[in-house]
A and B are shown apart, each in its own frame.
Chain A
Amino acid sequence: MIAGADLRAEGVWFSYPGREPALRGVDVEIGAGQFVALVGQNGSGKTTLAKHFNGLLRPGRGRILVDGQEIAERQTADLASTIGYCYQNPDHQIFATTVAEEIEFGPRNLGVSAEEVVARTGRLLDLVNLRDEAERYPFSLGRGQRQKLAVASVLAMEPRILIVDEPTTGLDWQGGAAMMRLMRELHASGRTIVIITHDMNIVAEFAERAIVMAGGRIVVDGTPAGVFSDDDALREADLRVPQAFQITRRRPDLFDGQPLTVDEARRALLSRSTVAAGDLS
């Protein structure tokens, strides 16, 4: 058991009405302050598991614990200020008529003082770079900005744990990178981050831990490097590792090991010239 585990699933089974089980006995612990990527194909159970952690779904069998306490015993408001959940499609959660109101809604609902709500909203507008858009209609923003607004409105309740379903889907490379830099900042400020993603480059670059799901089960759980090396599990989950790792894994002799990301692999290659030059002198 991880000391200070934030989230724990114990033998969790779940079926949507009239369907095959979506979760088939999931056991997992996510410790405080981890940066976790939950990966797998659609229908593998990732989102279903994530929705158990914020109490949107209740297990058919097994139990979910948040800070060691069974989730069924916790008040919704209390849970909302512990765990924030961002939907895959930001438009499913945006409803206010201005950007600022969207952010203010959550904390105001939790009974946070008006003064504090204003202060938080100001900080969050800066954090997600939407200060100039505060009075705009949310749906007039671009997809990347709406995604950030959705995250900001969840952060306004100051959750310690943030679960974000596909933070980069629908964004281009730069938009996705900006979103992930925000995730990294939030992690650095002490939060537990759980992202659900299909993008293995993001797993390689940002996550400390990858949990791979297939058919309602966890098929492998470990560091990105460890998970990317587990061919059987990846085959079962039908996932492809990033191109850079496909290359470095086959030729560790050329890359001074098996770097995970393209930037690391490129640096490893370029440092060879220094070695070669050194050999000549």
Chain B
Amino acid sequence: MRLAELSDVGFRYRDTTESALDGVSLTIDDGEVIGLAGPTGAGKTTLCMALVGLVPHATGGVLAGSVRIGGRESASSSLGELLTPLDADRALVAVTFQDPESQIVGMTVEEDLAFGAENLGVRRDEIRRRIDESLDFVRLGHLREAFPYALSGGQKQRVAIAAALVMRPRLLILDEPTSELDPHGRAEIFELIGRLASTGDYAVVVVEHALDDLAAAVDRLIILEAGRIVFDDRPDHVLRKVDRLIEIGVRPPDASVLGLAAEQVGLIAPTDRAFVTPDELLEAFPR
């Protein structure tokens, strides 16, 4: 089913003259796994906030065009109406932010996880079952009683994702989940995104600066520049546009850059797709 549909959306924050979003059109369907990238100020977070109705309902500002979430028109609904679940016990949308500490609400991991589902009115025994499942999923079952603030950055981010999963959202938005993490924490989050994607139960939008891990993890890659969508396509198509990505200020994976150069000098046969990982390119090189 269609979870979100944006048609020619423009948005300006209060007291600003520049558009944060400009002519944005896209659709998000059940089960899609989408990467969203672009330089700072390109509108990534604004787009995420529009997908949960926080833009414009919590931020104010001027919204143009049509944002439909779960079939409801954002501009003519209240935030409460907009986010009312379509199913009895699944949230429509859940979002996690860059700084996981900003969304910790419980004194234990378990309490933190229960909060969202309690607000949805899910039954107690069902909440308990979901907490078990979500903690298992993010591999933090052993930290159920832990004080959330005492966890590592990667663990906090996984608690935030587990707290979202407890609400069983149709659409899960992860806004820069790895930007504050070390490589180890980063790898943990991308491994988790891979497993989320393979369940097929959630549409997932992952926002990132860096394309290396992102492009390998998603089926669809959207690149924003100055509030506009420049690319919205399969990652191995988008990554063909190496020079344009560099111009936008998004670093393409080295494998894509070197794959294109190898084609140019006739080292490998021309294709219509980009190499996303080093292994793919190494495989394509002549023995």
Q: Which residues of A contact B (CB under 8 A)?
A: 41-43, 142-144, 169-175, 198, 201, 238-240, 242-244, 246-247, 250-251, 254, 262, 265-266, 269-270, 272-273, 276
Given known A-B contacts A42-B185, A247-B281, A269-B262, A254 and B212 have beta carbons under 8 A apart? no
Residue contact B40 to A142, C-beta cutoff 8 Å:
yes
- The residues of A that contact B251 with a CB separation of less than 8 Å are 173, 201
Q: Is B253 an interface residue (CB 8 A)?
A: yes
Residue contact A174 to B249, C-beta cutoff 8 Å:
yes
Q: Who on chain A is nearest to B249 by CB?
A: A174
Of B264, B266, B285, which contacts A254 at CB under 8 A? B285
- Interface positions, chain B 180-197, Cβ under 8 Å from A, are 180-185
Alpha-carbon distance A240/B210, docked complex (angstroms): 15
**What 10 A-B pairs have minimum CB-CB distances, sorted nearest first?**
A243-B254, A244-B254, A262-B254, A273-B265, A269-B261, A246-B278, A42-B182, A174-B249, A172-B40, A173-B251
- Interface positions, chain B 238-255, Cβ under 8 Å from A, are 249-251, 253-255
Listed residue (B179, B265, B266, B281) with the most chain A CB atoms within 10 angstroms of its CB: B265
Given known A-B contacts A172-B249, A174-B249, A251 and B254 have beta carbons under 8 A apart? no
Chain B, residues 160-171, CB within 8 Å of chain A (1/0): the string is: 000000000000
| Size class of the contact patch on chain B | 20 to 34
Residue contact A41 to B183, C-beta cutoff 8 Å:
yes
Of A42, A144, A171, A172, which contacts B184 at CB under 8 A? A42
Of B182, B210, B257, B285, which contacts A251 at CB under 8 A? B285
Q: Is B141 an interface residue (CB 8 A)?
A: no
- The residues of A that contact B181 with a CB separation of less than 8 Å are 42
- The residues of B that contact A272 with a CB separation of less than 8 Å are 265, 267
- The residues of B that contact A43 with a CB separation of less than 8 Å are 152
- The residues of B that contact A172 with a CB separation of less than 8 Å are 39-40, 209, 249
Listed residue (A42, A201, A244, A276) with the most chain B CB atoms within 10 angstroms of its CB: A42
- The residues of A that contact B183 with a CB separation of less than 8 Å are 41, 198, 238-240
Given known A-B contacts A247-B258, A247-B282, A254-B267, A41 and B39 have beta carbons under 8 A apart? no
- The residues of A that contact B180 with a CB separation of less than 8 Å are 169-170
Alpha-carbon distance A3/B262, docked complex (angstroms): 45
- The residues of B that contact A254 with a CB separation of less than 8 Å are 262, 267, 285
Alpha-carbon distance A221/B231, docked complex (angstroms): 42
- B172, chain A: closest CB distance, angstroms: 23
Given known A-B contacts A41-B183, A42-B153, A269-B265, A171 and B282 have beta carbons under 8 A apart? no
Given known A-B contacts A172-B40, A238-B184, A273-B264, A244 and B282 have beta carbons under 8 A apart? no
Residue contact A265 to B258, C-beta cutoff 8 Å:
yes
- The residues of A that contact B152 with a CB separation of less than 8 Å are 42-43
Residue contact A270 to B264, C-beta cutoff 8 Å:
yes
Alpha-carbon distance A45/B23, docked complex (angstroms): 48
Alpha-carbon distance A143/B182, docked complex (angstroms): 19
Alpha-carbon distance A198/B183, docked complex (angstroms): 7
- Interface positions, chain B 11-59, Cβ under 8 Å from A, are 39-41
Alpha-carbon distance A273/B264, docked complex (angstroms): 8
- B168, chain A: closest CB distance, angstroms: 31
Alpha-carbon distance A206/B147, docked complex (angstroms): 39
Alpha-carbon distance A201/B31, docked complex (angstroms): 33
